[in-house]
Amino acid sequence: MTFKEALDYLYDFVDFEKMPGAAPERMDLAGITSLTEALGHPEMHWKSVHVAGTKGKGSTAVMIASIVRESGHRVGLYTSPHLVSLRERIQVDGEPISEREFADLTERTRPVIEGIRLRPEGMGSFFDILTAMAFVYFKERSVDLAVVECGLGGRLDSTNVIQPMVCAITPVGLDHTDRLGETIAEIAREKAGIVKESACTVTAVQSRQASKVIREACRLRSSPMVEAGVDVRYALREESVGRQVVDIETAGGVYEGVTLPLSGAFQAGNAAVAVGVAEALAKQGMEVTRQAVRRGLSKVRLPGRMEVFQRRPWLVLDVAHNVLAAENLTASLRRLFPARRVIVVLSAHRDKAVGALCEVIARYADEILVPERRVLRNRQADPGEVADACTGLGTPSRTATSVADAIAEARTLAQPDDLILVTGCFALVGEAIEILRGMEPEETRSR
């Protein structure tokens, strides 16, 4: 099986990521449970950290993995979605699984997948299969720890078959309201579904509603709770484009002047959660040194998160795809790029709070371009409706026939001191990266 054949095979399974709702109406763990059982429970062969949340969970997962790797451990990392290659989702020691390894892994697990497909309960989804494959890969690569990011929610997410040493919950906000609930409390209850009996839970600074729910979940499961802002305090000392310096204080001491090679003050909060997780791992016997915390955070790389692609005019890419993320993004951009004319290339998924997202972006932008996408087109909110909504909010907006055309037009409109922002979802930013870098799309069909 070649890499292309492996992709074709996997994309033949139901892929909820490309559907308007992004998840089945009735979520359950039947598919992943059948797969892991048939594969000999690969998830039992390594220790893990489980990360859920509405905003920043991918960034936090990468930070945790980097810290633990710098302590001398072999670390697996499972995240979603990807930007330009499906291989990004499955990594060991910072390196994505190779095309050859991915093809071989698919071919070796195919008989198991096909066997389950014939069972009365049916087969799971594309995400179930990819998750199970990642678990097998981590077993075969003999990782010491895997950092596993939830795909959607937590309680019924395919990743929630692991028994983690530590759970982490990043900021909870309104997202996937059609599947997870219409209030912060309801969504927090789904996210807190990853909390496990006696395993430590590290949580970001949360709203009052989310904090109450998470605290109750920890009480019911006898999970020691560590809160950023309370047990892990942090303060931003310096902030500039591509760099910030943070002081982080825990019960174990002070990490003074920690350098993050990232833009966006919100990343300081993610770093605080990562440090809380690192110390929780150390308390349970995993060697994680204070020096490794510093080195790990200083080496973090996060493509598509306030990524500066060019200067004069500034071109910034960010995957903010919900209201909470967009508010944090625009607040940071106002500080780092003050008094500039802003042209936004915007595309959102229809299962998001599109109107509220438009309000945040329209308040920040001077002009908005809404393109037709190639990637995950079926989930795209109608460009005309998005443009009309933004115009109705007072910001001139119009559609573009493609992402390439929107970027080209934005570059034509922008003066040297202006800012072009490409944002709204992973699919848009990934497609923009392919265009800007002249990459051939990996996908063999539009997702």
Least confident of 91-100, 139-148, 180-189, 330-339: 180-189
Whole-number Cα distances in Å, 380 to 21, 177, 384, 424, 433: 11, 16, 11, 10, 18
Has residue 447 been placed in a domain? Answer: no
Has residue 72 been placed in a domain? Answer: yes
Has residue 444 been placed in a domain? Answer: no
Same domain as 324, residue 229: no
Confidence band for 20, pLDDT divided at 50, 70 and 90? low
Look at residue 16 and tell me whether its pLDDT is greater than 70: no
The Cα 315–Cα 310 span in angstroms is: 5
Sort strands 166-169 and 200-203 into parallel, antiparallel or unpaired.
Answer: parallel
The Cα 279–Cα 290 span in angstroms is: 9
Has residue 445 been placed in a domain? Answer: no
pLDDT more than 90, % of the chain: 83
CATH classification at residue 113: 3.40.1190.10
Q: What is the mean pLDDT of residues 191-220?
A: 96
Only one residue has tokens 């729910």, namely: 213
The Cα 309–Cα 419 span in angstroms is: 11
The mean predicted confidence, pLDDT, of the chain is 92
Has residue 78 been placed in a domain? Answer: yes
The tokens describing 200, both together, are 């430590």
Q: What is the mean pLDDT of residues 171-191?
A: 82
Confidence band for 297, pLDDT divided at 50, 70 and 90? very high
Same domain as 427, residue 335: yes
Confidence (pLDDT) at 69? 98
Same domain as 70, residue 200: yes
Domain range enclosing 355: 307-436
pLDDT greater at residue 43 or residue 152: 43
**Which residues on adjacent β-strands are paired with residue 239?**
244
What kind and span of H or E run contains 429?
Answer: helix 426-436
The tokens describing 150, both together, are 């939830």
Select from 46, 14, 36 the least CA-distant residue to 27: 14
Confidence (pLDDT) at 173? 84
Same domain as 337, residue 236: no
**Domain end (from 298, 332, 350):** 298
Confidence (pLDDT) at 124? 62
Same domain as 389, residue 292: no
Sort strands 200-203 and 95-96 into parallel, antiparallel or unpaired.
Answer: unpaired
Same domain as 267, residue 125: yes
Confidence (pLDDT) at 122? 46
The tokens describing 296, both together, are 């790990």
Q: What is the mean pLDDT of residues 7-18?
A: 78
Confidence (pLDDT) at 351? 83
* 3-state SS, residue 431: helix
Burial profile 412-438: b = 16 or more Cβ within 10 angstroms, e = fewer: eebeeebbbbbbbbbbbbbbbbbbbee
Confidence (pLDDT) at 22? 52
Has residue 159 been placed in a domain? Answer: yes
Same domain as 284, residue 335: no
Whole-number Cα distances in Å, 324 to 53, 66, 175: 11, 25, 9
**Residues belonging to the chain:** 447
Confidence (pLDDT) at 116? 82
Sign of the CA dihedral with 243 first, then 247, 251, and 253 last: positive
Has residue 46 been placed in a domain? Answer: yes
Taking a C-beta distance cutoff of 8 angstroms, is the pair 281, 202 a contact? no
**Domain end (from 265, 298, 331):** 298
Confidence (pLDDT) at 174? 74
**pTM over cut 0.85:** yes
Same domain as 322, residue 286: no
Confidence (pLDDT) at 121? 47
Same domain as 407, residue 431: yes
Same domain as 287, residue 330: no
Only one residue has tokens 């595309």, namely: 347
The Cα 152–Cα 149 span in angstroms is: 9
Look at residue 120 and tell me whether its pLDDT is greater than 50: no
CATH classification at residue 425: 3.90.190.20
Structure confidence by residue, pLDDT tens digits, 269-295: 999 999 999 999 999 999 999 999 999
Structure confidence by residue, pLDDT tens digits, 301-346: 999 999 999 999 999 999 998 898 999 999 999 999 987 899 999 9
For every residue of 62-131, DSSP letters joined together read HHHHHHHHHTT--EEEE--S-SS-GGGGEEETTEEPPHHHHHHHHHHHHHHHHHHHTSTT----HHHHHH
| Burial label, 208 (beta-carbon count in 10 A; 0-12, 13-18, 19+) | exposed
**Domain end (from 298, 324, 349):** 298
Has residue 172 been placed in a domain? Answer: yes
Number of domains in the chain: 2
Look at residue 242 and tell me whether its pLDDT is greater than 50: yes
Same domain as 273, residue 331: no
| Burial label, 263 (beta-carbon count in 10 A; 0-12, 13-18, 19+) | buried
Same domain as 329, residue 291: no
Q: What are phi and psi of 246, to 5 degrees?
A: -130, 140
The Cα 279–Cα 272 span in angstroms is: 11
* 3-state SS, residue 233: strand
Count Cβ atoms below 10 Å from residue 4 Cβ, excluding itself: 13
